[in-house]
A = this chain, B = another copy of it.
Amino acid sequence: MAAVGGNLKEAREAFYARLKKRHMSPLWTVLHDLVSDTPRRDMQAAIWRYADVRDYLMEAGELITAREAERRAIILENPSWPGEARITPTLYAAIQLVLPGDVAPAHRHTQSALRFVLEGEGAFTAVDGERTRMHRGDFVITPSWTWHDHGNETTEPMIWLDGLDIPLVYYMNASFAERGAADRQEVTKPEGDAPARYGSGLLPVDYKARPYATSPVFNYPYEAARAALDRLAAAGRFDPCHGIKQKYVNPATGDYAMPTIATFLQYLPKGYSTARYRSTDATVFVVVEGNGHSMVGETRFDWGPNDLFVVPTWETVTHHPAADTVFFSYSDRGVQEKLGLWREDRFGEAPA
């Protein structure tokens, strides 16, 4: 070692400065920041009350037309990252208002989108030539690079949650988008074609799924999913951390319904407090039915219908339903599993 003491420190600093000019830097000064022992705590838990969000949305309905806005949606931003349009590291959440007569022109993009209907009945989404009318609690997919548009030919507003992988695709820098020639794509299939063709326990005789494909079923109605939860609740095998929790799947592969966003529906009966749980996939929860509270780390969130809260990466959560409760939730668990990164901690399923 040629230099020692203060001289060594100076020599190193000078060396680092010269490196920097050449677009290089010493690993040893940053190693432990880059490769942390556990996930960072740089994301916040947060809750958005539906009543508030709804008021803002209605005000937006006064201030901007759907045509002007293209999509009249209000982004829910994680308080840790203002201006970044993300609620978790990789995912986006927004609440969208579709007023009677609104027209959202057809477009397509590499981002995958989910819709989860919060309010209203009968507005439609069209995907790849097929329209589906939507109802509260329905989970609807507009798959990557698929033409889609929507409209509301009813007399009531519809409000839904938009969940997208916008931050992930932005980060991967793989965004492509195209705007359709017409406001609305041509309808080439009768409504209900996709669920009949792919979602009834059968598939077309020569159908082969592409690996990692989005589900060909693009509307998972709440009515059927909710009925299934009821039956499972009757069977009584509750998971200590999750109660009854089901994942939406692509029936042609058994994988998550979307390659970049894992989606779940979950039932917790009144009084069923869950055991402590954490996982590496920060998760967005929407209250479909019920009320109660959750402890996210040290923070208590009281919630009721259509409220939305987010649990940060590796933060401990417990749920305490004061009434029979249904959550819809989404995260990047599927991505993390495919990359070998997903972990959970069930704390030995000890009671909270």
Contacts and interface: CB of A to CB of B under 8 A. Distances in A.
A102 interface: no
Q: How big is chain A's contact interface, by range?
A: 35 or more
Number of copies: 4
A111 interface: yes
A246 B89 contact: no
A9 to B, nearest CB: 10
A259 B343 contact: no
A200 B328 CA distance: 16
A6 B209 CA distance: 53
A39 interface: yes
A180 B251 CA distance: 34
A306 B142 CA distance: 42
Interface string A6-49: 00100110010011101111111011001111111011001010
A15 B327 CA distance: 30
A103 interface: no
A316 to B, nearest CB: 15
A173 interface: yes
Given A197-B232, A202-B246, A259-B339, 13 more contacts: A15-B59, A27-B71, A28-B70, A30-B75, A31-B71, A35-B175, A174-B343, A195-B231, A196-B231, A200-B227, A201-B217, A205-B247, A251-B254
Interface in A108-133: 109-112
Interface string A52-76: 1100100110111100111111111
A265 B229 CA distance: 28
A170 interface: yes
A63 B201 contact: no
A82 B23 contact: yes
A48 B23 CA distance: 9
A210 to B, nearest CB: 9
Contacts of A245: 204-205
Contacts of A23: 46, 48, 76-79, 82
Given A25-B75, A190-B235, A251-B249, A220 B196 contact: no
A212 interface: yes
Contact of A253 (B37, B248, B254, B260): B254
A62 B8 CA distance: 10
A249 B199 CA distance: 10
A250 to B, nearest CB: 8
Interface in A196-237: 196-197, 199-205, 207, 209, 212-214, 217, 220, 224-225, 227-232, 234-235
A24 B77 contact: yes
B25 A83 contact: yes
A272 interface: no
B175 A335 contact: no
Nearest to A31: B70
A350 interface: no
Given A1-B62, A23-B78, A254-B203, A68 B28 contact: yes
A349 interface: no
A36 B75 CA distance: 17
A96 B27 CA distance: 9
Contact of A259 (B24, B227, B251, B340): B340
A249 B335 contact: no
Contact of A228 (B85, B112, B197): B197
